[in-house]
Structure 1
């Protein structure tokens, strides 16, 4: 997967860590990173540490389990960094990357993004936590 010249959103889930992916994407030549973490201040602190010419880094507190937060991330990334190329979900069981150029392109980009992000979230959340998350969402 090509990272050089790409704008990347890294969304961290509870129990996940965005530091490793952020450093790898920056080292691989990403032209911008938006870091989102549900823990207040974590993404902002990491963004301040990694921000540099040629790869601006923006950090926000956000929970991508909420479609409204995903919409806000997309808007923030596009306002500050330009068109998003890759969306990385970092969870307790690893990372999954969604390449936006693989989406069909004939629907609203946000609507298209929700399904692969939902799948990515399911892949990086331990099975027992996934069941608890589903039960909580139904309640």
Structure 2
């Protein structure tokens, strides 16, 4: 899909990947860009930097009503929604199954149900027109997992699965679906180093936006700004047990987990 003349919604648009994508969509000639975020003031700054063809909307993606309102406001201003970039995410904090249910539930909502609710809001009009683009931000963690935080890794797996299902269900009905799976990107979520252990390089949001636009033109599924993730994913599929063993070693290195004694 070419972005020129299209209307795009970007959640998590006040900073990081979202802000980079919103600005890039505008630079590609988008007719309108809705910058959505919990932080309305920062979203307004991004929208102002884009110009008259952008609006800022406060949106908590863990609430379906907010997503419905976001879509309604975008339609009211620009007429329709051609591109929905379901990008908002949270990192949570380090830990595993011992972390409280409230944190797990919030992660399920932001990294799972938010994509479902967004698709519910925009897919009917895209299918009716026979054209649309829906992009889910997952993470390399959605393909490979992550040792520092179980809720993040688990729910990002869910994000990949949702994107896969949408591609399967709507791919022959005119709606393109892609899934963004980067490693570490220079955003507010990673500025303290959390979630970047053992990664090969930190990219800028602008670099990620470049890959998003390229994949949208190609209309392929995975957006992999870190190309090595594709090889890691192949390795996982070729020898699952060996891959799990490597992840166990990584967990021991970064989390201080006890190592199992070697057999005598």
- TM interval, shorter chain, is 0.5 to 0.7
Quick one: structure 1 residues 14 and 5, their matched pair in 2 at CA, closer, same or farther if it must change by over 3 Å? closer
SS in 1 for 2:87: strand
The aligned residue for residue 87 of structure 2 is 90
Say which of 57, 72, 84 aligns to 2:54. Answer: 57
Which residue is equivalent to 1:111? none
Query: Does the C-alpha gap of structure 1 residues 130 and 62 become closer, same or farther in structure 2, counting only changes over 3 Å?
Result: farther
2:6 is aligned to 6
Query: Given the alignment of the two structures, is residue 75 of structure 1 paired with residue 72 of structure 2, yes or no?
Result: yes
| Aligned match of 2:215 | none
Structure 2 residue aligned with 1:27: 27
The higher radius of gyration belongs to: 2
Preserved CA contact (<8 Å) 2:82 2:126 = no
Distance 1:102 1:76 in 2: 15
| Contact 1:91 1:124 survives alignment (8 Å) | no
Structure ranking higher in strand proportion: 1
Gaps of 5+ in 1: 106-115, 135-139
Q: Greater relative contact order (Cα 8 A, min sep 6): structure 1 or 2?
A: 1
| 1:129 matched residue in structure 2 | 152
Measure, in 2, the Cα distance between the counterparts of 1:43 and 1:14. 4
Q: TM-score, normalised by structure 1?
A: 0.65
Q: What is residue 45 of structure 1 aligned with on the other side?
A: 45
Whether the aligned pair in 1 keeps the contact of 2:4 and 2:28 (CA below 8 Å) is yes
Relative to 1, partners in 2 of residues 1:12 and 1:69: Cα closer, same or farther, differing over 3 Å?
same
2 CA distance for matches of 1:8 and 1:45?
17
Give the conservation status (yes or no) of the 8 Å contact 1:14–1:92: no
Residue-pair matches, total: 116
Q: Tell me, which stretches of 5 or more residues in structure 2 are unaligned?
A: 91-114, 129-133, 143-150, 159-264
Partner Cα distance (1:26, 1:15) in 2: 15
Query: Structure 1 pair 68/124, CA: closer, same or farther in 2 (3 Å)?
Result: farther
State the superposition RMSD in angstroms.
3.7
Q: Tell me, yes or no, if the aligned pair for 1:38 and 1:62 is still in contact at 8 Å.
A: yes
